[in-house]
Amino acid sequence: MNNKLGFILIEIQKTNNQHRHYTEVLSKSIHDNPDKDICIFNSFCDSIIPVNMPVLHIKYSKFFEGDMFLFNTTSILLTNSFPKIKTRYLYMNNAPWINGNAPYKNWENIFMQNNVEIVVPTQELYDIYKICWKKPVMFEGGFNCENIKKLY
């Protein structure tokens, strides 16, 4: 288990309820686990961030050493060349390849990397990712403090 966990939230918009939920959960996780090193990397934020959340510009994420939690496929592409990241946890609340026209190889290059663990919030997504790519980590109940604790 690792004591260092980074989160890449490319944008944090005050009008986006999902972003608000992520920051609330992360703030509570930081408060409840003061012995863990948790850091958020971000490039755009128009929200008020809780005082206990360390937020650095996304350009500093390449120097982060530990595990990284990602919320979209753009973050996977961004972190592909980061040498100090041990495991990348990709939180997927949908199956983006279903509605796209991107070739299979593009999705395979994202989901089948050795240091990528797919994280899903529902049994349906668990089954889809297990059949199509590889066995994911189940976050039963969605993105919350208890599920984050399972990662470290």
Residue-wise pLDDT tens digits, 71-94: 988 899 999 999 999 999 999 988
> What is the spatial distance between Cα 49 and Cα 62, in angstroms, rounded to a whole number?
22
The domains of the chain, with CATH numbers, are 4-149 (3.40.50.2000)
Residue-wise pLDDT tens digits, 18-44: 777 888 888 888 888 888 888 889 876
pLDDT beyond 60 at 1: no
Q: Structure pTM?
A: 0.87
> What is the spatial distance between Cα 124 and Cα 95, in angstroms, rounded to a whole number?
10
Query: Which amino acid type is present at position 92?
Result: M
What's the order of all strands across the beta sheet hosting 55-57? Answer: 55-57, 37-42, 4-8, 66-70, 85-91, 116-120, 137-138
137 CB neighbour count, 10 Å cutoff: 16
